[in-house]
Chains A and B, each alone.
Chain A
Amino acid sequence: MPRRSALLNAALGVVFPLLAFVIAPTLSYGDELNIYSARQESLIKPLLDRFTILTGTKVNLVTGKGDALLTRLKSEGFNSPADVLLTVDAGRLYRAQKAGVLRPISSEKLNLAIPAHLRSTENQWYGLSIRARVIIYAPERVNGSELSTYEALSDPSWQGKLCIRSSSNIYNQSLVAGMIASQGMEKTEVWLKGFVANFARAPAGGDRDQIKAVAAGQCDVAIVNSYYLGGMINSDDKGQQEAASKVNLFWPNQRDRGTHINISGAGITQSAKNLESAKGLLVFLANDESQRWYGETNNEFPVRPEVEVSKTLSAWGPFTADQLNVGKLGQYNADAIMAMDRAGWK
């Protein structure tokens, strides 16, 4: 049976090299720094590479969904290789803090650099960049003076004119959580009812899709994170550029609590073996160079107000951000989802 033995040989030829491949990565990571990151690779690796060049510390990276990484961290426990947990919203950091996987650190430098509302009150995590949730409108059909606050978008005059993505999206959950924190549940529920009734279509797609829908005339206003508009303005794709040029950005709630913001941020784990290095990384991510990089690469705002912002960002003008401690967004996240479920926001 020559055919079968050839098959067997081929199989063995595949299996042995592959076994070596299976075992190789179990070698330990020694004095290197290990990071679990919900921030995707292309939006963090360049900074980490820069850190390696400056300090000589090698950085190892796993990226994934925040909660999945948190579950991995929790079940690995004391033996977890991770030193740092990076997330793209405050809620996950709050949740990690509650789960007891982050350790409080004392760093004069970080506490001085990062405003108090953008870090944990117990020094367990720090905000590293700001993501603002703004109103986008079509100047052809909407006068900027008609806009004021998120709250005002629940007015029946906006019926059938509003686009926003699903309530499964974390930034929508944070927006509502922030409103519960400042206005209370009762007012928020009333607002949600009117707001959801104004949707132009069932929520679907991402933030860029909402911007495109405004540009194409499917709706007049949308609520999106500002960096998506920045990404479209700076895109190589003609279609995206064109869509972005047809809309304007409006900073909501400038006369009261300020525009809703979230952060990307990081904390050091309880299992961290390289504490000093890990602290060094956080300080590095908050320095001038890194803070500018967030703006230039992903159109996010720096957490340190004194750092100058990129051209795209400064074109939108200065804005007042909500001063609520972003940890509250995590605290009210579950309440926000339940309220959105009750209001029928898909």
Chain B
Amino acid sequence: MTVIVAIPVLVIIASLSQPFSSTWQHLADTVLIDYISNSLLLMVGVGFGTLILGVSAAWLTAMCDFPGRKILSWAFLLPMAMPAYIIAYTYTGILDFAGPIQSTLRTTFDWGYGDYYFPQVRSLGGAICMLSLVLYPYVYMLVRIAFLEQSTAVLEASRNLGKKSWQTFFSVAIPMSRPAIVAGVSLALMETLADYGTVAYFGVSAFTTGIFRTWYGLGELTTAAQLCAFLLLFVFALIMAERWSRQRLRFHHNSANKKLVRMQLKGWHAYTALLTGCFIVGLGFVIPATQLVIWASSRWQENLNGAFLSLLLNSFSLAAIAAICCVVVATFLAYTKRVFNSRLELGAVGIASLGYAVPGTVIAVGVLIPVAWLDNKIDFLSRAWFDIPTGLLLSGTIGILVFAYVVRFLSVSLNTVESGLSAIKPSIDESARSLGAGPGQVLKRVHLPILRSSLLTAALLVFVDVLKELPTTLILRPFNFNTLAVRTYELASDERLVDAALPALAIIVIGLLPVLLITKSILNERASHE
């Protein structure tokens, strides 16, 4: 299974065996340095952005108590339902030179172009802000679970030893949550590297821009795939370096989940916490969503019709199938890794989970080429042996699309399942085994109940990601098959934002349903422990 999932990524890496064309010389002479430095800056920016936003949101809602905490604990997830390119469009609409804010400033103070300073939305900094705002929920979600599952005994011990709460935070809680923090930030960073919509709209020459210019513009698919392969090797090296650096560290703990005592925030502390929360959610969700509602409300009667309902159904079903498949595959892989723990297996799983850092269109090509090859081979053999043409069995079906989603989003589910699994001490397995349980029973009766919230989280993350997914869907889908993301993109790319707002809102609303359901279930579980 690992091998099948790894094939598309391997197809891309295999492009390195092709001869390097003269295009490389041109790229190296002109734009390559720009692509690399912009992508690195983007990574550093989004890395810090999501880390700060995600960890502080998780700490506030998991470890502190203040008025509004319960609402904020799920509201912090809202920006996740917002596709990055949509938030980019809305903020550009609001903050651009020709937008309402700057226009009002100009008419009020009678300024002209160049008379005043206003930060440029469409810039590298702008892209960092947009991506951080919609990607921090990955960090928040995983780290919050980690904080909640952290042994209260350890935190209490730290406090009893006279550490202040912020010292406990930095010297105990953060280091102990490292797998979750790393998992969350690396998801955010991989998504950043794969992003094309936002950087292209903002005119930032990032590495993905380079990949697509080389493919679409220069017509050099091989060179584009080679660029992508280098991107993958870079990501792989980063992941391995991080794994290596925490090789000898273990993060499980002994004590069961005791009742968690939250720090009561009072007075201005409570207000600051509440305001910070509202600020984050406001920027990441409320403001852009309001803009979308304003746009959508002017045209909803014409856009809301039967075709729109089929979009809803298609998007929902696809996301649900892909979420289930991803979680099943991820659980399987995580266990193979835990049980066999061999170098080969680790490497294979590592490669299989790289798909998330690859722009969707490139993954699509990595899926398309081997699958179409297989289809044509089967057709050829079937003609030769039975004189029956089979045509293309997989290409152009929902099946190939789901396969591509699994390749692309495996990392999301795998990281989540693994970070959940890392909290289960191997000695638990051993005790269960010594009491006569087989490996299957250990999984079913010991691990699954413990992992339940991690598995649900993994499914939710994939569900929302597939809902927003555009490029893979666009190229691999069957005839006459549209999704909300496809419709949103087609309208937005034609610069018809007003019409694009309704399907965009639908993505957000459908994405919110599982967010609410699962937060509730995680909260309930917590309550049942207490």
- Comparing B90-98, B154-162, B226-234, B251-259, the segment that makes contact with chain A is B90-98
The answer to whether A248 has its CB under 8 Å from any CB of chain B is: no
| Chain A residues whose C-beta falls within 8 Å of the C-beta of B212 in the assembled complex | 168
B302-349 contacts to A (CB < 8 Å): 317, 320-321, 324
Pairwise interchain contact B96-A209, C-beta atoms closer than 8 A? yes
Main secondary structure of the interface of A (DSSP, over half): helix
| Chain B residues whose C-beta falls within 8 Å of the C-beta of A168 in the assembled complex | 200, 209, 212-213, 216-217
The answer to whether B408 has its CB under 8 Å from any CB of chain A is: no
| Chain B residues whose C-beta falls within 8 Å of the C-beta of A122 in the assembled complex | none
The answer to whether A65 has its CB under 8 Å from any CB of chain B is: yes
Interface 0/1 of B20-53, CB less than 8 Å to A: 0000001101110000000000000000000000
Pairwise interchain contact B490-A79, C-beta atoms closer than 8 A? no
The answer to whether B481 has its CB under 8 Å from any CB of chain A is: yes
Bound: A215/B475 CA distance, A: 37
Pairwise interchain contact A28-B203, C-beta atoms closer than 8 A? no
| Chain B residues whose C-beta falls within 8 Å of the C-beta of A203 in the assembled complex | 203
| Chain A residues whose C-beta falls within 8 Å of the C-beta of B270 in the assembled complex | none
Pairwise interchain contact B113-A26, C-beta atoms closer than 8 A? no
| Chain B residues whose C-beta falls within 8 Å of the C-beta of A319 in the assembled complex | none
| Chain B residues whose C-beta falls within 8 Å of the C-beta of A187 in the assembled complex | none
Pairwise interchain contact B324-A15, C-beta atoms closer than 8 A? yes
A92-140 contacts to B (CB < 8 Å): 95
Pairwise interchain contact A79-B375, C-beta atoms closer than 8 A? yes
B484-521 contacts to A (CB < 8 Å): 486-487, 490-491, 493-496, 498
| Chain A residues whose C-beta falls within 8 Å of the C-beta of B391 in the assembled complex | 28, 79, 81
The answer to whether A75 has its CB under 8 Å from any CB of chain B is: yes
- The residue on A at minimum CB distance from B368 is A75
The answer to whether A142 has its CB under 8 Å from any CB of chain B is: no
The answer to whether B201 has its CB under 8 Å from any CB of chain A is: yes
Pairwise interchain contact B298-A231, C-beta atoms closer than 8 A? no
Pairwise interchain contact A41-B324, C-beta atoms closer than 8 A? no
Nearest CB of B to A185, in Å: 14
- The residue on B at minimum CB distance from A165 is B203
The answer to whether A42 has its CB under 8 Å from any CB of chain B is: yes
Nearest CB of B to A157, in Å: 18
Q: A62-B479, A76-B395, A204-B203 are known contacts. Are A236 and B216 too (CB-CB below 8 A)? A: no
Pairwise interchain contact A69-B475, C-beta atoms closer than 8 A? yes
Nearest CB of A to B315, in Å: 12
Bound: A342/B498 CA distance, A: 37
Q: Which of A79, A80, A215, A243 has the most CB of B within 10 A?
A: A79
| Chain A residues whose C-beta falls within 8 Å of the C-beta of B487 in the assembled complex | 41
Indicate which residue in B123, B216, B218, B448 contacts A170 across the interface (CB closer than 8 Å).
B216
| Chain B residues whose C-beta falls within 8 Å of the C-beta of A202 in the assembled complex | 123, 203
Pairwise interchain contact A41-B113, C-beta atoms closer than 8 A? no
B196-238 contacts to A (CB < 8 Å): 200-203, 205, 209, 212-213, 215-221
Q: Which of B103, B201, B396, B476 has the most CB of A within 10 A?
A: B396
- The residue on A at minimum CB distance from B361 is A68
Q: Which of A61, A62, A212 has the most CB of B within 10 A?
A: A62
Pairwise interchain contact A22-B398, C-beta atoms closer than 8 A? yes
The answer to whether A270 has its CB under 8 Å from any CB of chain B is: no
Pairwise interchain contact B368-A243, C-beta atoms closer than 8 A? no
Given contacts A40-B493, A68-B364, A337-B217, 4 further A-B contacts (CB under 8 A): A67-B221, A76-B375, A166-B200, A216-B103
Selected A-B contacts with CB under 8 Å, 7 pairs: A22-B398, A23-B399, A26-B393, A34-B479, A62-B481, A334-B217, A341-B31
The residues of B with any CB-CB pair to A shorter than 8 Å are 26-27, 29-31, 92, 96-98, 103, 112-113, 122-123, 200-203, 205, 209, 212-213, 215-221, 298-299, 317, 320-321, 324, 361, 364-365, 368-369, 372-373, 375-376, 379, 391-393, 395-399, 402, 448-449, 471, 474-482, 486-487, 490-491, 493-496, 498
